[in-house]
Amino acid sequence: LCLGHWRRDRPRACPARRHPDHGSAQVERGQPALDRIVASTGNDKVSIIPLNLESLTSVREFVAEFRSRFSTLDILVNNAGIMAIPQEKTVDDFEKQFGVNHLGHFLLTVLLAPLLISTPHSRVVVLSSIAHRRGGLDLSDVNWETRPYQKWMSYAAAKTANILFAVEAARLLRPHGVLVNSCHPGGIMTELQRSLPREEMEAMGWIDKVTGELHSAFKTVAEGASTSVWLACNPNVQFSGEYCEDTNISLPTHELALDKELAKQLWTLSEEMVGAKLE
């Protein structure tokens, strides 16, 4: 998750997603990344602010802290997430994958919208996944209370929600000059797979059982970040509401991700669940 500004002499904030009781530890983990940014860009106006996306209170605290420090926001990349975890609830009693991957980012974006709107040529990038193709999104049971929980279907639903969120946010923010797009970064081996047993990744063909090597389709972290960076920074990107892969506009592979009416319904439901509306 990253918030930033176009000009090198303007400050950047890198939120550190944290466990409710271990904010300082997560900030410390983010320090090496901050140091690399400063070293590679020469910009020392970079800071880390703790943020726990599974807590709506933490999101509100983060936004309050951010707005106390900064009056503009050029780029918001909603990149944090969890994948295929056992069934859990957030501190606000939402199904965790939907709560973290969608609702936390939804509230963050809605509360930061006034800054995005007041900053010329601002952009929002929402990270989805090709995994959305595994299933749709049931708005009548986003918390998996009436169906048997399936971790991959839950993840697919959350990633579908990411695409739909970008579609409706683009519609609502387009009159204010804010571009909003979603993207699939590609397969990348990071801490996102922390909940997956190695045997499961081998069974899916991600890791060779004999050699231990990753499938050739996997990208490096830099390669995986390329589409997000392209959407955030490339001046030739002047479209909004699109789903992208490999630095190109693509099409979601599940038909529900193209449903503009469903996107509106999801937006309304999300407003009700987090208790906030776009100003």
Catalytic site positions: 155
Contact 55, 92 (CB under 8 A): yes
Whole-number Å distance between alpha carbons of 96 and 90:
5
β-pairing, 179-184 with 243-245? parallel
β-pairing, 123-127 with 12-17? unpaired
β-pairing, 243-245 with 75-78? unpaired
What does the CA dihedral 95, 83, 64, 126 come to, rounded to 10 degrees?
A: -110
- Residue 76 β-bridge partners: 3, 124
Distances, alpha carbon 92 to alpha carbons 34, 99, 162, 207, in Å: 30, 9, 19, 36
